[in-house]
Chains A and B, each alone.
Chain A
Amino acid sequence: MIAESGHYALVLALALALIQSVVPLIGARLRDAALMNVARSTALAQLLFVGASFVALVMLHVNSDFSVANVYENSHSMKPLLYKITGVWGNHEGSMLLWVSILALFGGLVAAFGNNLPMSLRAHVLAVQAWIASAFYLFILVTSNPFLRIASPPIEGRDLNPVLQDIGLAVHPPMLYLGYVGFSISFSFAIAALMEGRIDAAWARWVRPWTLMAWIFLTLGIAMGSYWAYYELGWGGWWFWDPVENASLMPWLAGTALLHSALVMEKRNALKVWTILLSILTFSLSLLGTFLVRSGVITSVHAFATDPTRGVFILLILCLFIGGSLSLFAGRATSLKQGGLFAPISREGALVLNNLLLTVACAVVLFGTLYPLAMEMLADFKMSVGAPFYNLTFAPLFALLLLAVPFGPMLAWKRGDLLGVTQRLLAAGVAGLVAVAIAWGWATGGSTLAPLAIGLGVFVIGGAVTDIVERTGLVRLPFATVLHRARGLPRSAWGTAFAHAGLGVALIGIVCETTWNSEYIATMKQSEVAHIAGYDVKLDGLFQRQGPNYREMIAEFNVSRDGETLSVMTPSKRSFTTRGSSTTEAALLTRGASQLYISLGDATAEGAIAVRIYHKPLVLLIWWGPVLMAFGGVLSLSDRRLRVGAPKPARAKPRLQPAE
């Protein structure tokens, strides 16, 4: 009953999406308000039905109804409730259902809260949204249906991949999908603008919150995924330049560029065509990511199942949407009116540089991801492109970008004064140099570039602080005035500062972790002591324990420093009976921003066990950075005010402040 109702709800959603993709367009052509409004009610109804379908699948998993193939293949009646629920999207079919649910959610949000949109724009946006939805509903129903049944149901399921039985699965995929799919809105807006042949600053005003929301979720989703890989896979690595990671990084890079160019468009009515192109590219990269992960072209933790028909189907969707939107762009872009002018040295100019660097970085990642695949397919030659490639290409680009980041927000709109900004950034620059000196003196070993990179990170943070100090007039004005100005400062200005500082924080974390981490790998016997980075780690013993659907071997370590006991760490190895596989559960001890990391290898017959202990200095900064960035995004999103980029008049006094 539940299974079939959920199935039918999904089918109805498809039927509604088909109507939604045609009727509003006819309405927009005829300027018929009623026909255009069909888009709103169908989008909301679609959300209702997909939502019902998703809830149905969740209920099936919770009830362990093994007459549904998807539940049988990915669930187990002994699994804890949380993993029964998260297991819904821990498999291909369910995760695609989550994908369309989020798509419908965004469509529904536009329909419900899009009162400030012109009616025909709203109709166009929702129609484009419905095209995407129809394609993916068809994909799900035809090739990856989660509601297929088994006539004679087995008594027990095959359980979820143990690696995925973790709290991370509850957070990472929904966040990431909210990000991926959120960019579909800016895509739909771009296509709608191209179809209407009209685009202006108001357009950017309407797109901003959607893009920003998607960006926040994508940032958090990627950071969460990275942290999950860090503690779950047991190697202590947090980024592997794995094609699937790249697939999420590319939309992030393009989306970040989009965020900045949309800013220029909203405030200054410039860079319009470029912004449209970026909207298309960002969502295309999201689709490409979906294709890479879901088609089985790449095998990884994320590729739950591989099936050639799925790959072909997604490839078709990919060609249709990317090819279609780019041809539409090529045909219509020239007819769009060009906007405001600006000097090369200006806030606009800085944002163009930012866009340039981000898109080139994105292209580098795209090349690094697709080249090995192409080589394997065309020349039957297996190769992997990893960290050395990206260190040589991606890292310098990003270093350049970070160097430019503090300058951007301090330049005036239309025409800026680079020398003046440099003077004002002097303090941040000095702070950076001091950091370089300290790092140089204190560090032993490691790359000579590392202190420089730390200096760069400090410079970026210093730049963000300087920006706020300058805007509030912290040093020049009396304190009461400063407070008044700080309160009057747009929240988006604070958002910019936090997001940029987050970049610096993440950079410092990355450099410290990669340069000065220490590791200890050995086979330890009971009461043996390992010394690492000033800590003494003693193996107290090994224990067995029975979990709900696994058995685990726990090692107890006593961690002390200078003879003083700090904590007990208990890494474990879990073996899951049903899938016959095992996972390592690393133990983490956080000290400030640094972590001690222990993960277990195989036990030997004599009661000894292989142990990997890492000390990772300032590793947590890697994730605090993105959290700061997302926080900045939330601040900026909460700023309901309109954005005006007041241009600097041609003959102005040199010390005037630019405004948000």
Chain B
Amino acid sequence: MTLWFVFALMTVAAIFAVLLPLGRSGRVQDQGSEVAVYKDQLAEIERDLGAGLIAAPEAEAARVEIGRRLLAAAGSKPAVEPKSSLKWRRAAAVLALVGLPLVAIGVYMPLGSPRLQAFPLAQRERGSGSGMAQSLENLVAQVEQHLEKNPTDGRGWNVLAPVLERLGRFDDAARAFRNSLTYNGESAERRSDLGEALSAAAGGVVTAEAKAEFERAHALSADDPKANYFLGLAAEQDGRKDDAVSIWRALLAKAPADAPWRPLVQSSLARVGGGAMPALSDETVAASKDMAEGDRNAMVRGMVERLATRLKQNGDDVEGWLRLVRAYLVMGDRDKAVGASSDARQAVANDADRLRQLNEGLKTLGLDG
């Protein structure tokens, strides 16, 4: 309500500014004229002459010239004195009283948002009781703010880093993991988390920097599964497929049977070892063994379709696209493979790194020259 009151006051002030001069008769003496300027100029010549800045003949010439202009100006002075026309003044007053508020409201209403509350920093810090959604981003922002002020809070970095990684802010995540390492001390797990963030930031490529982190993690604890998995991946990406196979085999051999990452390693192994079906875990393969040929194909097709739908929703996953293309090729559906690869290019077209990675992957599949 106060807002509308303020608006009304402002409008009244604006109207008043227009009405004020209309009420007065208008002081005619409150203005200058050319005649005054020329008279001043004449006076100026006398002063210059007195100060010795100009000589007498020049002063005389100037006086003649200005005198001529003065005469001309005085002659062209409007013969009619200022007058007042009441009719037009009334029209102007009506314009101010009616037109001005109409224009103001007419422009403001579609643009303004008078119902929205202000939300300054002070109020935010008091606790966001104003019904604002505490979204994940806002929480993250709060933690980040806290850490900007207290950068040595290792626990905070520990909490923040994986969240950042999940949000896709890989560079920030890598920085957070680094800080966590600095303030919480070395551990194989943190090293390999850092490596993972680094390679995620590089679009899935295990860069030299990331690899160094995994090697450090491996040195700290030879059994760290993440480090082993990514070292294998690095080997694969370097083209040392045999090394990758041996690293992953060793990893699987030591792994507990219920390790959640087992299927991932197995499918990777299948990829490198030239397994016929992509992305099939042991369980699914085992399950499919007992099926009839037709059923098995149906199951595989179902999986491929699920993959295709997922990629349609989120096209950033280059590995996924490659898997899909490979799956189509294995199923002998070359047209679909070509279609999927062009879809993939479109999906990652904005990201040069991913596009390069995709193109390289497609080349190895023999789809592209």
Contact = CB atoms under 8 A, between A and B. Distances in A.
The answer on A and B forming one complex is yes
Interface of A: 1-5, 7-9, 11-12, 14-16, 18-19, 23, 26-27, 30-38, 40-42, 44-45, 48-49, 60, 63-67, 77-78, 115-119, 122, 141, 145, 147-149, 151-156, 198, 200-202, 205, 269, 340, 485, 488-490, 546, 549, 577, 580, 641-649, 652, 656-660
Interface string B31-61: 1111011101100110010011111011111
B313 interface: no
A149 B108 CA distance: 13
17 contacts: A4-B116, A11-B103, A14-B107, A15-B103, A26-B88, A33-B25, A35-B92, A41-B20, A41-B21, A77-B124, A78-B148, A119-B31, A155-B142, A643-B41, A646-B54, A646-B59, A648-B58
A340 B62 CA distance: 12
Contacts of B141: 154-156
Given A34-B89, A145-B111, A1 B118 contact: yes
Contact of B17 (A34, A41, A644, A646): A41
B108 A8 contact: yes
A19 B96 contact: yes
Contact of A577 (B60, B62, B172): B172
B113 A149 contact: yes
A99 B70 CA distance: 39
Contacts of A148: 111, 113
B6 interface: yes
Contacts of B99: 15, 19
A12 B53 CA distance: 53
Given A35-B85, A115-B30, A145-B111, 16 more contacts: A1-B118, A4-B114, A11-B108, A14-B104, A26-B88, A49-B10, A65-B118, A141-B111, A147-B111, A148-B111, A148-B113, A149-B113, A488-B53, A647-B62, A649-B58, A652-B55
B55 A657 contact: yes
B369 interface: no
Contact of A65 (B7, B119, B144): B119
Contacts of B52: 485, 488
Given A118-B32, A644-B62, A19 B18 contact: yes
A140 B310 CA distance: 43
B126 interface: no
A512 B66 CA distance: 48
Nearest to A200: B34
B89 A642 contact: no
Contacts, number: 267
A45 B100 CA distance: 13
Interface string B117-135: 1111110100010001100
Given A15-B14, A31-B82, A115 B32 contact: yes
Contact of B73 (A119, A202, A549): A202
Contacts of A26: 88, 92
Nearest to A656: B55
B137 interface: yes
A205 B111 CA distance: 44
Contact of A200 (B11, B13, B73, B100): B73
B24 interface: yes
B51 A5 contact: no
Contacts of B166: none
Interface residues of B, number: 90
B22 interface: yes
Nearest to B151: A546
A386 to B, nearest CB: 28
A539 to B, nearest CB: 25
B141 to A, nearest CB: 4
B138 to A, nearest CB: 4
B93 to A, nearest CB: 10
Contacts of A202: 33-34, 37-38, 73
A547 B171 CA distance: 20
A567 B20 CA distance: 64
Contacts of B138: 154-156
B28 interface: yes
Contact of B48 (A67, A577, A646): A646
B275 interface: no
Nearest to A78: B148
B95 A23 contact: yes
B237 to A, nearest CB: 21
A32 B89 contact: yes
B287 to A, nearest CB: 46
B32 A116 contact: yes
A649 B48 CA distance: 17
Given A5-B6, A8-B10, A16-B14, A201 B119 contact: no
Contacts of A340: 65
B84 interface: yes
Contacts of B76: 198
A30 B31 contact: no
A4 B113 contact: yes
Q: Which 4 A-B pairs have the closest CB atoms?
A: A33-B26, A45-B17, A116-B32, A659-B54
Contact of A63 (B108, B116, B121): B121
Contact of A122 (B31, B96, B145): B31
A642 B22 contact: no
Nearest to A659: B54
A7 B103 CA distance: 14
B69 interface: yes
A77 B108 contact: no
Contact of A37 (B24, B111, B132): B24
Nearest to B60: A649
B78 interface: yes
Contact of A644 (B14, B27, B44, B96): B44
A152 B96 contact: no
Contacts of A580: 171
B352 interface: no
A646 B40 contact: no
A40 B145 CA distance: 50
A652 B59 CA distance: 12
Given A16-B14, A45-B13, A200-B73, A4 B3 contact: yes
B314 interface: no
A153 to B, nearest CB: 4
B80 interface: yes
Contact of A16 (B18, B65, B66): B18
B75 interface: no
Nearest to A29: B88
A33 B44 contact: no
A103 to B, nearest CB: 17
Contacts of A36: 26
Given A4-B3, A66-B119, A141-B107, A153 B83 contact: no
B58 A3 contact: no
Given A118-B34, A122-B31, A200-B69, A155 B54 contact: no
B294 interface: no
A269 B41 CA distance: 13
Contacts of B58: 646-649, 652, 656, 658-659
B342 interface: no
B26 A37 contact: yes
B31 A647 contact: no
B116 A67 contact: yes
B112 interface: yes
Contacts of A35: 22, 85, 88-89, 92
A34 B22 contact: yes
B89 A646 contact: no
B82 A32 contact: yes
Contact of B88 (A5, A32, A49, A141): A32
A592 B317 CA distance: 59
B100 A16 contact: yes
B117 A647 contact: no
B50 to A, nearest CB: 9
B45 A488 contact: no
Contact of B69 (A118, A269, A657): A269
Contacts of A549: 148
A23 B116 CA distance: 36
